[in-house]
Structure 1
């Protein structure tokens, strides 16, 4: 894919993503890393079908998303979910947790009837470690911690049985100890429900803990890619080596 934007004051085209090719599969944790301004978030918006590509395409099972019917595109947006950086801004402050998750379950017809929807919400909360779920169903976002709000967003995403979750800086605003717990939940979900991730971050220590495959972006280009272990052990591109040299070490990731 390529994505360009018109420059300010009638200037030329600014290329935010240049001929990027990547692949994500259910059950796989794919990371895209790079500094601010490298094009990572633009790539996320392309994958989520929020903006059109200037060139190339986004495909699910070989089908070009731009050519899908309205019903097919609705299904795509159910199958490819988003978890973003700011949980407070992504949650309606006037809606309780049960309403927040339950309304998308009802909208996408994942479950019908109040009891069935409540059961689906409960299952999603328990999958992200919010147990017993009954303690959280009636809480408003301001009654939750930052880590709990992020878990609610993950629960809302997985309640739709997605194949892929695009997580754009999903843990960057969390404290280190809270971040570890949320990362463990995300990693465990690849095994328990088979969901895959496109995990977008500037945080290489996080990538080292959870990723299976890594793409490195610089100024709109994917400059290097490969399995996590190979890329960290033997980086080929000077930019990747610079990122690794500048990154701190994290303690081993433990269960929350």
Structure 2
């Protein structure tokens, strides 16, 4: 089975890319610990998607998510957060090794996307230590530890261990489009086979899989001047996060 693991689901930026039928993913897991983001992710209309309401890590348990709901939310307190009002939330964590052993098999073809604001090193070190990383066909990892003073030193060590293990991985800096969904799309186009004519392609191109929130956001972005859209997006995002907390 071809599986996509989206670690750090946020609003489904990478999930939207993975749902393109050309990649042939049969099952897609989106790991997202923030309740506000989970609600949006559950709005995706595709039976292949399963939202996992937890963060992936090197241990199972609980943690504090600083900047919950924001693009840069992190379990590390010394990571700077953008925004006037930064809130926190207690979240669930799942150990990466235990989850992979329980939910995948050695026969699966697994693609892992990691964009989880510092937890990527926790996940990769855990899988390297246990050996379960051998189940992964390819990894896309954005080393956000570079933004966290207490964790930045870990990147070089983890990258070297991946190379020693001969594990295929890419970082945004190695791609022509070093950011966001464009980078994920480029990685997938390089990492595995694809079919230009796939079942469900028309439905995907029409955006019928997208949640109402994303439809509304795209419509507003097209209709409003950029400053007005940015202001409205920040306001509505903050309002939505507060509604989730109640």
- TM-score, reference length from structure 2: 0.31
Highest CA radius of gyration, 1 or 2?
Answer: 1
Q: Which has the higher contact order (CA 8 A, sep 6+)?
A: 1
- TM-score, reference length from structure 1: 0.30
